Amino acid sequence: MSVAFNASILRAPRTGIGQYLVELVRALATDPEFEPWLFNGWNWQAQLPAAALPGYSRLSALVKRGVPNAYALRRLVEQRRFSRKAACADLYHEPSLWPFEFDGPMVMTLHDLTHVRFPQTQPADRLAAIERHAARGVERAQRILVDSQFIADEVCAHYGVPAERIVVAPLGCAARFHPRAPEQLAARLAALGLQAGRYLLCVGTLEPRKNLQLALRAYERLPAALRERYPLVLAGMPGWRAEQLAEPLQRALASQQVRLLGYQDDNALAELFAGARLLLFPSLYEGFGLPVLEAMASGTPVILSRGSALSEVAGEAGLYIDPQNEVVCAAAIQLLVEDQARWLALREAGLTQAQAYSWQRCAQITAGVYREAVKA
């Protein structure tokens, strides 16, 4: 079965949806029944790209600012080039919110409804395009894949989709996320001025939804001696409205106790997870929360928000906080830094919880959905 994928998201540095697409295609490639065709926004290719297109994010931002109706114009060109070969595919899988027109059976993945729940986190022109394309895709798709039951319920409620058209395919965790001995991490961490087990980690795009302002305020409340011993490390690329973080972030960076690392590649991120004392993930809304799973698989306890899909992923292995309460968040950080017994208990619980998730399982569920969609 030939499966056409919209892989244009892989032109940019890989964040959550990009990682999903890469790992899913890799897992599906082990099944000879499926032949992935990848549309990169311009051409078709059989293999996953090794890395993002150099300079793509900067160029894309310049085009959006300087070209009127940039989204619509790019979409028109991409649709024409997509249709040239996609018409020969047995199935089309759209991994995001921007499905192309396609006459055959289609599967769409909805990772979350951020555009519905937090429309203020998107530029107005992008939000309008998302709403138009997503609604059309939901209407056309034979089956809709989601990462969690939480999102399945949201899709049913918002779009009025019958439950039988929605399938939960939980995400997985790549093999590179596993516990590591301090000596295995020494070179990478030393280059960053860090020590294994002696820093706190936040991972995610720098945008309001990730609630990093709470993380910064909670960190400021910690005792000075603790902050001296445990710097707060932020790993992620700037996102929409990142300027809202500018003032608190600049103040935190000036203290030299907060480190801003920017975007980290796959291997660097895996080592950062394994070396952290804890992952702080106070996000306001997630359809899954892949960093939570990756941290648990790395043997790193997680402090996370109660709500959305996060409790579905972490189960009893997370230390939950109110994402609006910096006092509670600071107390949770201090607990996991100072209480070794609690830290060890959460570490073991996280390692056990993470074993329930794999990309192979995600691919097996997805393959079943493909077969259903073709027959529908």
Nearest to 26 by CA among 366, 275, 363, 301: 363
CATH number of domain containing 43: 3.40.50.2000
Q: Which 8-state DSSP code applies to residue 238?
A: B
The reply to whether 232 and 200 lie within a common domain is: yes
* 160 and 205 share one domain: no
Same domain, 258 and 347: yes
Structure confidence by residue, pLDDT tens digits, 39-69: 999 999 999 998 887 766 665 666 566 666 7
pLDDT digits 0-9 by tens, 305-332: 998 999 999 999 999 999 999 999 999 9
Residues 10, 25 within the same domain: yes
Q: Is the pLDDT of residue 241 over 50?
A: no
Write down the pLDDT at residue 204. Answer: 84
- Do 198 and 61 share a structural domain? no
Mark whether 301 and 371 lie in a shared domain.
no
List 143's β-bridge partners, or say none.
107
SS3 assignment for 72-123: HHHHHHHHHHHHHHHCCCCEEEECCCCCCCCCCCEEEEECCCHHHHCHHHCC
Residue 69 falls within a domain, yes or no? yes
Distance CA 82, CA 102 (A): 9
pLDDT recorded at residue 340: 98
Q: Are 122 and 240 in contact (CB under 8 A)?
A: yes
Do 210 and 271 have their domain in common? yes
Domain count, the chain: 2
210 falls within a domain = yes
Q: Does 77 lie in the same domain as 58?
A: yes
User: What gap in Å lies between CA 1 and CA 34, rounded to an integer?
Assistant: 5
The b-or-e profile of 143-152 (16+ CB within 10 A means b, else e) is: bbbbbbebbb
Distances (CA, A) of 237 to 85, 257, 265: 33, 19, 11
Residues 135 and 26 in one domain: yes
The string of pLDDT tens digits covering residues 101-156 is 999 999 999 999 988 988 876 777 778 888 888 999 999 999 999 999 999 999 99
- Pair (156, 261) in one structural domain: no
Same domain, 338 and 369: no
Give the integer Cα–Cα distance in Å for 110 and 95: 7
Q: Is 177 within a domain?
A: no
Report yes or no on 331 lying in a domain. yes
**Which residues lie closer than 8 Å to 14 by C-beta, 6 or more apart?**
22, 52, 266
**Pick the residue with more confidence: 343 or 119?**
343
Structural domain includes residue 225: yes
Q: Is residue 163 located within the same domain as residue 228?
A: no
Q: What is the DSSP letter of 192?
A: T
Domain residue limits at 303: 182-354
pTM value is: 0.92
Residue whose C-alpha is closest to residue 231's, from 272, 170, 285: 272
- Quick: pLDDT tens for 254-311: 677 899 888 888 999 999 999 999 999 999 999 999 999 999 999 999 999 998 999 9
